[in-house]
Amino acid sequence: MNTTSCKKCGGNNLIMVEYDRLSPEYYDGVSEIDCQDCGARIGRWSGRE
């Protein structure tokens, strides 16, 4: 899976998000990728926004 560019806008201004350890959605590691250009939030595992 290519995580270096946004699926939506193709931008490269992405940040990796780790959920808080107390969150029910917590994973060990990056759980989500947020695009700073278009605001898309893409789950790393699910591929969903």
Binding site for Zn ion (CB under 5 A): 6, 8-9, 11, 35, 37-38, 40
**DSSP code of residue 7:** T
Cα separation, 26 vs 2, whole angstroms: 22
Supply the DSSP string of 12-46, one letter for each residue.
--EEEE---TTSTT--SS--EEEETTT--EEETTT
Whichever of 6 and 31 has its CB closer to Zn ion, that residue is 6
In the complex, least distance from residue 3 CB atom to Zn ion, rounded to whole angstroms? 12
In the complex, least distance from residue 49 CB atom to Zn ion, rounded to whole angstroms? 10
Whichever of 12 and 23 has its CB closer to Zn ion, that residue is 12
